[in-house]
């Protein structure tokens, strides 16, 4: 009987130690995954929450589409480049704005990343003035006029649900070839623009009022 008891005790001890080991590994894996500054893990983190944008997927979009739609929550104006890098994995190094060395000498720089957004190839660009973020934009093309008008309406409704009614810039204020709407967040602005000639769409967040040059 004593021998049977010793083997039973040894068996349960091994089982208990194995369960503890698995539990520790799971905890460490969870901790490691939250420590990585990638878009996938940042999707679940509310790091900077200045504007409570809608959580729905209004276009049947992918999680990363929503990540970029709500990027303003994570990179507010005033961030430096190091802070932006922590939020946008894989963004390129800084270079002179518009590849213009004279602008670079004045402290105007940009960093870009090619992304897939709403099923389209797009360009994400962050603009800095002496290492202070003053604008970021996502630009892509939609050549189908009907789809573009529908998308503009959906995007406008998406942001209006959180930010209030959009300010619509009339064609007389701008021109006959651009649809432009924006929201005054005081002090910053979110804008959506669609160029009827080129088919280019732009979503931008910036520190200056749309149409006013810095």
* Residue 54: per-residue pLDDT: 54
pLDDT 10s digits, 21-52: 333 333 333 333 333 334 443 333 333 344 55
105 CA to centre of own chain: 28
* pLDDT level of residue 178 (50, 70, 90 thresholds): confident
Could you tell me the CA-to-CA distances from 160 to 14, 67, 133, 137, 182 in Å, in that order? 59, 18, 24, 18, 10
* pLDDT level of residue 202 (50, 70, 90 thresholds): very high
Q: Which residue has the higher pLDDT, 33 or 18?
A: 18
Q: What percent of the chain has pLDDT over 70?
A: 66
* pLDDT level of residue 162 (50, 70, 90 thresholds): confident
Assess whether pLDDT exceeds 50 at residue 12.
no
Greatest mean pLDDT range, 15-19, 28-32, 66-70, 202-206 = 202-206
């Amino acid at each position: 009987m004593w021998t049977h008891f010793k083997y039973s005790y040894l068996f349960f001890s091994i089982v208990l130690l194995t369960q503890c080991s698995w539990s520790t590994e799971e905890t460490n894996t969870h901790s490691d995954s939250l420590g990585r500054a990638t878009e996938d893990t940042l999707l679940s983190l509310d790091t900077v929450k200045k504007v409570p944008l809608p959580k729905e997927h209004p276009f049947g979009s992918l999680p990363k589409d929503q990540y970029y739609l709500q990027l303003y929550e994570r990179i507010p104006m005033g961030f430096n480049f190091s802070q932006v890098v922590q939020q946008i994995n894989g963004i390129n190094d800084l270079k002179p704005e518009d590849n213009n060395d004279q602008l670079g000498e004045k402290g105007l720089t940009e960093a870009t990343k090619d992304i897939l957004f709403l099923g389209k190839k797009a360009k994400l660009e962050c603009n800095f003035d002496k290492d202070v973020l003053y604008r970021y934009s996502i630009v892509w093309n939609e050549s189908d006029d009907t789809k573009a008008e529908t998308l503009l309406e959906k995007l406008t409704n998406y942001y209006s649900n959180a930010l209030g009614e959009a300010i619509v810039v009339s064609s007389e204020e701008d021109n006959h070839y651009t649809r432009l709407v924006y929201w005054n967040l005081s002090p910053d602005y979110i804008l959506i623009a669609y160029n009827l000639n080129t088919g280019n769409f732009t979503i931008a967040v910036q520190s200056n009022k749309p149409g006013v040059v810095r």
